[in-house]
Amino acid sequence: PVDHVDDGQQFDFVLVTHRIPVHGRPDAVAGGAWTYSPVGVDAILGEEVGVRNGAWVGWSWQPGESVRSAALGRVHLRSIELSDREIEWHKEGYCNSTLWPIYHDSIERPEFHRDWRDAHRVVNRRYADAVTRVAAPGAVVWVHDYQLQLVPAMLRALRPDLRIGFFLHIAQPPVELFGQLPEREETLRGLLGADLVGFQHPRGVSNFLRLCTELLGLEVGTDSVVVDGRRVRVEAHPISVDVAAIEEVVNRPRITRRAAQIRAELGNPRTLLVGIDRLDYTKGIEQRLLAYGELLDGGQLSADSSAFLQVATLSRENLARYALLRERVDRLAGHLNASYGRMGNPVVHYTNRVLDRDEIMALYVAADVMVVTPLRDGMNLVSKEYVASRVDNRGVLVLSEFAGAAHELSEALLVNPNDVDDLKNAVLRAVAMSPAEQGRRMEVMRKHVREHDAQAWVDGFLKDLG
Ligand code: G6P
């Protein structure tokens, strides 16, 4: 594939993510329509790039498209390309079928193929090359997530003048899982090319330090590793959400009206339970629907008094295990409706549609109980967004203890999603919780996310990167 165009401009700050947040045809340079549309974390990162007049390097999702740079405001986008084969071997293969399962407790069995690994190396090298061309001498470069773990070491070899940070958005597994990876040492050494390696959770830090000792025999401290005479800092920087932006949106009359309308469309249930996820086997969607089904079956909840709304956005659809998961969840939702719903009044409202940001905010406002039950999740921003959206301090969060967010949102009802009885009890407790207790718990959690919002995450990481 054609590599990214070199227009000669260099920047003191370079953000590197797997993809850049663009939609449409990437021909903005030629005056066409390339919509830069970051939401959530991407929006915060984009603001930072803009404030620093920096560059954002990533894949533009458009196989075969060949335009590569654009300045949208003060965010200078620099896209790299992946061939169809690279999308198959690097992204769908190595990233989503080797690394993703290993980093999620091997819930699904990881696959190992040398072709995938080779494509992964080539692609990581392409990102590193792109960065070297746009990074000014001494620039700060912030690399993100599991798809790009080899980039820091490649960058250091090419450009020792750079200040390199890396942040892993998913959970760093312990040696018992990570040790399965044939490229375990290469991956660790890839990360150790950075000056600062950030994780979501303190356990990510301890897992990583132990990996460095056990697999590489390196000398480690409590928050650093010494490698090739350099000290690499290793820290927890839990990611967060833009609380002010969420509060502003949910206070708009249009959103509160829409929330009331959603409840009415669902038959005004006394309790509306909501789940919002990517359709992924790590998210525990089946577990939560099973628990809800058993509560209906046992008569503890009824179709008249409750409804479950599950949004599961399609993801990684080319991969067989995601297609199989989709079939299972379809069947489960259908089974619950056939058993407990009435004509024209389903008990599970299930959609795979992509909802826009306002609609998601309205759903948060409408939800009495937010059910977030991943089997493993680096952080889970849905849980933090829900908390941020509850400006009236009402609502209950049922949260898996295996989500990174559980470390911070301790006033949620924490559950082990593998334990159906535990899940059922938590849902029942949530349904019955008094407004006073809801208010007490939600206030504590809201205070936490307000004090630890997305901007604080960016500032904290970049300050420590120096
Ligand atoms: C997770 C990862 C992201 C990834 C996203 C969607 O949130 O942390 O890095 O982009 O899933 O997965 P996909 O494979 O479609 O990029």
Contact 412, 438 (CB under 8 A): no
Contact 75, 56 (CB under 8 A): yes
Which of 17, 18, 241, when mutated, tests ligand 1's pocket best, judged by the most ligand atoms within 8 Å of its CB?
Answer: 18
CA 167 to ligand 1 center in whole angstroms: 14
pLDDT number for residue 4: 42
Predicted TM-score (pTM) of this structure: 0.95
| pLDDT above 90 for 350 | yes
Which residues' Cβ are closer than 6 Å to ligand 1? 18, 96, 145, 169-170, 315-316
> Which residues are catalytic, by number?
169, 377
Average pLDDT over residues 139-157: 98
CA 435 to ligand 1 center in whole angstroms: 36
pLDDT number for residue 342: 87
Per residue in 437-465, pLDDT (tens digit) is 999 999 999 999 999 999 999 999 999 99
Atom of ligand 1 nearest to the CA of 92: 14
Contact 95, 146 (CB under 8 A): yes
At residue 74 the predicted structure's pLDDT band, cuts being 50, 70 and 90, is confident
Atom of ligand 1 nearest to the CA of 147: 9
Contact 118, 150 (CB under 8 A): no
CA 147 to ligand 1 center in whole angstroms: 9
Contact 333, 310 (CB under 8 A): yes
C-alpha radius of gyration, the chain, whole number: 23
The whole-chain average pLDDT of the chain stands at: 93
Atom of ligand 1 nearest to the CA of 144: 9
Distance CA 211, CA 216 (A): 7
pLDDT number for residue 76: 87
Q: Tell me phi and psi for residue 63, to 5 degrees.
A: -55, 130
Which residues, other chains included, contact 233 with Cβ-Cβ below 8 Å and sequence gap of 6+?
A: 195, 196, 197, 223, 224, 464
| pLDDT above 50 for 314 | yes
